[in-house]
Amino acid sequence: MYHMRPLLFGHRGSRGLAPENTIPAFRLGVSYGVDGIELDIHLSSDRKMVVMHDDTVDRTTDGHGKISEMTYEQINKLDAGVRFGVQWKGTRVPLLGDVFDEFGKNIMYKIELKHSSKVYPRIEEMLLEEINRHSLDDRVQVISFDFDSLKNVRELNDKIALGLIIFGKPEWFIEIARKLNAGWLQAFYGLIYPEDVRIVHDGGLKLGVWTVNEPEEIERYCRMGVDDITSDFPNLLKTNCK
């Protein structure tokens, strides 16, 4: 799909505006007309794909504990909104399937695997099964810092878009991305300059940047020719990247 401008993604839905990685945050992000949402997944002890950034529920809910040591029933009783603000009280932690059910093919999804199957057995397989169940293969990019995660996904599916998340200069990672058969590098924006965009494109890859939160920075990277931009403030994306 050809876009004159970069694809625009709300980071954890709309992390700067609502309780991150919750359905209300995703709804809010989508309401600003972004192309898609970025989210993170872990496995609960009963092997449900829980949408949360951290390994524990402590920072974003009123509970305590490691996701991998809790059942989804326990996690679902927690309040994932009250720490962000009292008006969000009662917001729940969603499963990946809940997010897919809510938005379907209407948006794109950037899904970060926080750990590979070495930590969460078969998570890559489970993720691909869920994507297939909702017929979203062409709407998803699976991203990770973890080389094993991307390698495992690619061995199971030779078509789905993959993005290697990096913190550093893209040229260091181009060969790794190629070995993983990943078509994207997802880079911390502060280390990216116009020559980096050229190097990545010359290497046959696409380049996304995260997490760009200032209007002038959004405009700058939009003009730089990156292929996607992720922001905590999706309300700023379309107005500053036309």
Catalytic residue positions? 11, 53
Question: Percent helix, strand and coil across the chain, each rounded to 5?
Answer: 40, 20, 40
Residue 112 Cα to chain centre, angstroms: 5
CB atoms within 10 A of CB 65: 16
SS3 16: coil
Amino acid at 190: G
The candidate with the shortest Cα–Cα distance to 188, out of 169, 215, 205, is 169
> 141 near 111, Cβ under 8 Å?
yes
Q: Which residues share a beta bridge with 162?
A: 142
* Amino acid letter for position 17: L
Helix (H) or strand (E) holding 229: strand 228-231
- In the DSSP assignment, the letter for residue 113 is E
Strand 49-51 with 36-43, pairing: antiparallel
Q: Are strands 140-144 and 161-166 parallel, antiparallel or unpaired?
A: parallel
